[in-house]
Each structure stands twice: as structure tokens, then as C-alpha cells.
Amino acid sequence: MPVTAKLAPDRGYYHLNADQLAMAGTPSPWLYTSGCRGLQSATVNVVVTEQDKPVEAEPRSFTVRLHFAETEDLRPGQRVFDVKLQDRPVFEGLDVVARAGGPNRALVEEFRGVQAKDTIKLELVSRAGAAPIINALQVCEE
């Protein structure tokens, strides 16, 4: 599925060597050593197609999983942001370091029953400190 993303100025994607960074709380540490810093929005296309042509469909239910890990040397309160799905707040004041129990620890936030017909829109809105981060976005039809 095509994904479009809008980044804040002077931010972007990063990649760290998974062999040199211990990542707790996951059997897949490589997933959390790359990500996006400064993401403002991402849109995932979930249009139903037949023979590569869009088909009119009713809204469907999806599970959205957001994967995070703070790999910078930040303390609680130094990177706080809100998360919106489909223009609705689903998490206010996400502090990855605090919620995960420290840096270099995987954190997965799951949202079930997200309704979408054509696209699923994710927004990360900075509240305090460093720009929002995300390591992976997973969308599964229920």
C-alpha cells in the first residue's frame, strides 16, 4: 500500500547499527534502530481494488500499531507529543522514554477498530522538547 509522509523541516529518517545498540523489550531490535524524526503526518492507502482499479467499498475496521523507541540520550519530558488517527486524538502527551521505562526500550501502542474507507491518517503533534519520533507503522484489516 502506498504511504505518503510529511516531515517537519530539517528532520528526517535515521538508521543506527542494530548490532551496536542493545534494544530491550523486543525480539526484533533492528525494527527500533531506524525510524523517522520530525514526522508530522503519514497517510496509508487502504482503498479496495480489483484488477488494479479502485472499487467503491464501505468503511472497514483496522488495527493500527505504532512502534517507538527512544534512541537518543533523553530523559522523561524531553520529547512529548500527541498522536492522532483519522483526525481523532488517540494519545495525548506520549513520552516514549517514560512510557517504555527508559531509552533503548521498544514500545508498541495498539489501536483497534480504526475505521477507514480510503486512507488511514496518522498525525504526530509536538508538545514539548525534541521533535516526535516513530519507528514503524503497522496497519492490519480486522
Structural domains in the chain, sorted by start: 3-141 (2.60.120.430)
First to last CA, the chain: 16
What's the whole-number mean pLDDT along residues 3-15? Answer: 64
Q: Answer whether 98's CB lies under 8 Å from 77's CB.
A: yes
Q: How far is CA 76 from CA 52, 81, 109, 135, in A?
A: 46, 12, 18, 18
In degrees to the nearest 10, what's the CA dihedral of 92, 93, 94, 98? -140
- Percentage of residues of the chain with pLDDT beyond 70: 92
* 30-48 pLDDT tens trace: 889 889 999 888 888 888 7
* 86-106 pLDDT tens trace: 999 999 999 999 999 999 999
With a CB cutoff of 8 Å and minimum separation 6, the contacts of 41 are: 5, 6, 121, 122, 123, 124
3-state secondary structure of 100: helix
Task: Give the distance, in angstroms, between the CA of residue 34 and the centroid of all CA atoms in the same chain.
Answer: 12
The overall pTM is greater than 0.75: yes
